[in-house]
Amino acid sequence: MGALTALRPAEATYAPSALALIKRTVAADCNDDEFSMFIHMARSLHLDPLRRQIYAFVFSKDNPAKRRMSIITGIDGFRAIAERTGNYRPDEDEPTYEIDPAAKGPNNPAGIIKATVRVWKFSHGDWHKVTASAYWDEYAPLKEEWAYDEAKGKKQPTGKFSLDTSGNWPKMPRVMIAKCAEALALRKAWPDDFSNVYAAEEVDRARALDATPAELAAQGEVDRRMKRIGGPALTVDWLVEYAPLDRVPVGQFADRAMAFIGQHREEPSTILMWSTRNRQCLKEFWSHCPGDALAVKRAIENATASGAAS
């Protein structure tokens, strides 16, 4: 039986006045059912909402069809929960990072690809290492940019996204992505204890999207709009004489680029010229799909390096 089951009775946790204060402040957006669920989780995890150890965030609160609540806690709360299980040990080493200078830009200040964190769990008579990685492009809070459309007389989405600068992601990118990785590792090691509980950093991206004007049209509107116009696309020069520049959907670009590189593998100068002419296109692709962009980048480097060696 886990240590969490030995917590003091839930009834003794909060006085009515404290519950009223929590409802007015930390859980102000919750309806009655959501508030009851939130308090139940706070009591079960033995975390104090008034100390901001745990709080509730309601997504799409103006859209009943999409409305949902996430229970959020700080990374220290995660560690406290794990500590009370009696079989947790933090890793002695610092988080490790995969960095690529080519990924560095306004939306990725440190050029981080991913952070990896390890925790230790005692089970079956021995300590076992549990490892998890968090990728920057999956967690960094990006907000859609809006601009005033004079023809329509109102602000419209531009289809571009920028890093939310209101929090700590631009100032402490390594710390923030490492917290996401640690939360993933803890949840992986103790899935029952962390069921439906998320670290604040894990939901920063969703909260950034929810805070933009897109919330007024529901969080899924961006995806629906992209589907209607065929998704975001890149302008590509395939080095075909007299041919117009090609508009390639982002989702198809990696396959098309890899096919081009493979087709011209014996012509490294052609691949180098292609990458030079499409420098801006490749940068835009990185902002959409860093993982695929890294694979394309490495394929270009391998092809051109082999040509230089010969």
Find out whether 79 and 256 touch, Cβ atoms under 8 Å: no
Delimit the domains of the chain by residue range. 3-226, 233-309
pLDDT in tens, 230-262: 456 788 889 887 777 888 888 889 899 999 999
What is the reported pLDDT for 222? 43
CA 148 to chain centre: 28
pTM summary value: 0.59
Bridge partners, residue 169, by sequence: none
pLDDT tens digit sequence for 57-75 = 888 888 888 888 888 888 8
Cα dist. 283→9, 56, 102, 168, 236 in Å?
56, 37, 9, 24, 12
